[in-house]
Amino acid sequence: MNFPSPYARVLPHQIHLGKPPETQRTVEAEQRNRVVGSLLGLAVGDALGASV
């Protein structure tokens, strides 16, 4: 991010803020990660003998 100088007269709507490229994920990738996490949690719970 590039912040304006503290002495510059910049209005808030003129400041460009964007996410870093490494945090921009697609919705499909995030959903896939959640499904994999759910299945992994289910497998670990089953291995430990937890009942649902």
Give me the residue spans of the domains in the chain.
20-48
Amino acid at 23: T
Task: Say yes or no to pLDDT of 46 above 70.
Answer: yes
Q: How far apart are CA 46 and CA 3, in angstroms?
A: 50
Cα-Cα-Cα-Cα dihedral sign, residues 32, 35, 36, 37: positive
**Residue predicted with more confidence, 2 or 14:** 14
Q: Which two tokens stand for residue 23?
A: 């945090």
Q: What is the pTM of this model?
A: 0.47
Q: How confident is the model at residue 34 (pLDDT cuts 50, 70, 90)?
A: very high
Burial of 35 (0-12, 13-18, 19+ CB in 10 A): exposed
